Amino acid sequence: MLGIYHPSQLTSRGACVTKALHMIEPAEVERLLRARFGDAQLELIDLTGTQDHYQARIVSSAFSGKSLIEQHQLVYGALGSAMSSAIHAFALKTYTPEAWAKVSGGSDGRSLT
């Protein structure tokens, strides 16, 4: 996307750094998710160390009776404006407790592996 940037927003190579100014700490992402999914088993990983690419697995009863799209919409809603500003990429896996028990072989939900 082309745009007009202030010189202070450009690196020496001319790349825009505006995005980098709007990072979100992993603890804040987790706080937003826990505020919406209080019962969740949650694992969040900052994939690049740049606080804008995350991977999350959320196991919550809030997803019961919801389609995968509806589950993801709930998560995006919990993250609010961070999804359109600070978070550049968000790899997401959502499960009900029952679905997680089936795919994990009874794991407690604390590891993405």
pLDDT tens digit sequence for 37-74: 999 999 999 999 999 999 999 999 999 999 999 999 99
Q: With H, G, I as helix, E, B as strand and everything else as coil, classify residue 44.
A: strand
pLDDT tier at 108, thresholds 50, 70, 90: low
Q: What is the pLDDT of residues 49-59, one digit of tens each?
A: 999 999 999 99
Query: Into how many domains does the chain fold?
Result: 1
Report the pLDDT value the prediction gives residue 113, as an integer from 0 to 100.
Answer: 47
- 47: CATH: 3.30.300.90
Distance separating alpha carbons of residues 5 and 20, to the nearest angstrom: 14
In a domain, 16, yes or no: no
Scanning the chain, the segments in alpha helix (DSSP H) are 26-36, 68-79, 97-104
Question: Which two tokens mark 22?
Answer: 């709007």
Residue 2 in any domain: the answer is no
Q: What is the pTM of this model?
A: 0.75
Q: Which domain holds residue 32?
A: 23-104
Residues 79-108: what's their mean pLDDT? 91
What is the chain's mean pLDDT, rounded? Answer: 83
Q: How far is CA 1 from CA 5, 12, 92, 108, in A?
A: 12, 19, 25, 43
| 39 is a domain residue | yes
Pairing of strands 53-59, 89-95: parallel
